[in-house]
Amino acid sequence: APAPPPARHLFSDPAEVEALRGNLLAWYDRCKRDLPWRALAATEPDANKRGYAVWVSEIMLQQTQVATVIDYYNRWMQKWPTLQALAQASLEEVNELWAGLGYYSRGKRLQEAARKVVSELAGQMPRTAEDLQKLLPGVGRYTAGAIASISYGQATGVVDGNVIRVLCRLRCIGADSSSPSVIDRLWDMANVLVDRSRPGDFNQALMELGATVCVPKAPLCGECPVKQHCQAWHRKLFGKPPPVPDVEDCGVGDCPLCPPATEPWDSSLGVTNFPRKAAKKPPRTMRTATCVLERRGCHGAPEYLIVQRPSSGLLAGLWEFPSLPLAQDLQEKKEREELADHLQAWMGQPVAAKGLHFIGEVIHIFSHIHQTYVVYSLHLDGDVTLNPALSPSRWVTEKEFHASAVSTAMKKV
């Protein structure tokens, strides 16, 4: 069994835990942002609908800013106010509404999970974090804890990026905060801290503190409701962590939660010494040739060909201009030839590489891919019969293009 974590980094004094809960909740009651999912969770009498409303918000908020999510959330809840309504939607409709929100598999998984609840769980959301995580595809430990505490009042903690930052600062945890052993400790702490009578509010308060006060670069410690419990703040003011009664200080370099001995406390960073993370892998670079094929529609307005991406992988099921990943360092002439061959397969007729008009390059950063689209265009005069054996494809006007399930990257193109 792993050795117990050093007591300096824990919340082992019940009186301190009680005071911290009280201060944080009082601040939350005064300062919380009005958000549509909070209003629903607070007023919806039907627990099942409450669970659904919180679930949708939590999935949308993964990797996405609150300000961006609000409009998507309102439109989603208007269109599919219940699990049952979502279960009946088509994936195409889900992708259309999700277009622009990024990380598209989230919408698809949400809808698959809604279908599962309706068909296998008699339309009833699981009521505990354990069951939510076990039974709903796409629901991990964090989302399960958030739904169970906010919708059903289960006294269970949550750990997301904001909570990691706040807890690491509160307890001067400077070991790699993405390592499984530190993450486990943080979950233990979150479960100790969570308020037993208002678990949903407490969890939201801790996350809200991380989002609005204990922010990554310039935290507003002077306004922080829990600064008197914060070891990083104390250390910044007095140059050393506060003494903890009956607890010896951590041995330099031996403590699994302190910063490594090679990278000790840097006084110029203050509280932002915490948290620390191992360096991220640099994103992969990719080049993709893409062609905007244009024809005159029956009313003379221009129409563009879009094709559907495979149902799994990056941007699954979304629509795009015919595109082809390119090998790195390909000569421009070769790029054109490969794209022309690719288009020929779609149209069943020869496409001259030199007929492709180079428009420019568009760069789009996905979380792990630095993608460059090399954009060409081609105007078609006669009618074209598309090869039905290939992926689904269709001609759209510009307006229809914008209403289709296309990614932000394709809109840039």
Residues labelled as active-site residues? 58
Binding mask 125-164 for ligand SF4 (x = CB under 6 A): ----------------------------------------
276 phi and psi, to 5 degrees? -120, 150
Stretch that binds ligand SF4, among 12-20, 213-221, 244-252, 326-334 (CB under 6 A): 213-221
For the chain, how far is it from start to end, CA to CA, in angstroms?
54
Query: Would you say 194 or 413 has its CB closer to ligand SF4?
Result: 194
Query: Would you say 223 or 341 has its CB closer to ligand SF4?
Result: 223
Binding mask 290-329 for ligand SF4 (x = CB under 6 A): ----------------------------------------
302 phi and psi, to 5 degrees? -65, 145
Binding-site size for ligand SF4 (CB under 6 A) equals 14
Query: Would you say 159 or 271 has its CB closer to ligand SF4?
Result: 271
Q: Which two tokens stand for residue 274?
A: 């915490």
Binding residue (CB under 6 A) for ligand SF4 from 150, 221, 293, 351: 221
Q: Which two tokens stand for residue 394?
A: 């269709």
Could you give the 3-state DSSP secondary structure of residue 190? helix
Which of 202, 106, 86 lies closest to 148, judged by CA?
Answer: 202
Q: For residues 70 and 62, give the distance between their C-alpha atoms in angstroms, rounded to a whole number.
A: 13
What DSSP string runs through 13-51?
-HHHHHHHHHHHHHHHHHH----HHHHHHHH---HHHHH
CB of 182 to ligand SF4, least distance (A): 17
Binding residue (CB under 6 A) for ligand SF4 from 233, 373, 376, 401: 233
Query: Would you say 72 or 233 has its CB closer to ligand SF4?
Result: 233
Give the type of residue at 187. Answer: W
Q: Does 193 bind ligand SF4 (CB under 6 A)?
A: no
Which of 247, 210, 237 lies closest to 226, judged by CA?
Answer: 210
Stretch that binds ligand SF4, among 10-18, 26-34, 216-224, 252-260 (CB under 6 A): 216-224
Binding residue (CB under 6 A) for ligand SF4 from 219, 259, 275, 317: 219
Q: Does 226 bind ligand SF4 (CB under 6 A)?
A: yes
The contacts of residue 304 (CB under 8 Å, 6+ apart) are 292, 293, 294, 321, 395, 396, 397, 398, 401
CB of 276 to ligand SF4, least distance (A): 14
Which of 100, 141, 107, 137 lies closest to 121, judged by CA?
Answer: 137
Stretch that binds ligand SF4, among 119-127, 220-228, 253-261, 280-288 (CB under 6 A): 220-228
Burial group, residue 111, by CB count within 10 angstroms (0-12, 13-18, 19+): buried
Q: Does 175 bind ligand SF4 (CB under 6 A)?
A: no
Q: Does 169 bind ligand SF4 (CB under 6 A)?
A: yes
Q: Does 170 bind ligand SF4 (CB under 6 A)?
A: yes
Which of 165, 222, 213 lies closest to 189, judged by CA?
Answer: 165
Q: Does 207 bind ligand SF4 (CB under 6 A)?
A: no
Q: Does 271 bind ligand SF4 (CB under 6 A)?
A: yes
Rg (alpha carbons) of the chain, rounded to whole number:
26
Per DSSP, helices labelled H in 47-170 are 47-61, 66-79, 83-88, 91-98, 105-120, 129-135, 141-152, 161-170
Query: Would you say 5 or 219 has its CB closer to ligand SF4?
Result: 219
Q: Does 56 bind ligand SF4 (CB under 6 A)?
A: no
What does the binding site for ligand SF4 look like in residue numbers (CB under 6 A)? Answer: 166, 169-170, 213-214, 219, 221, 224, 226-227, 230, 232-233, 271
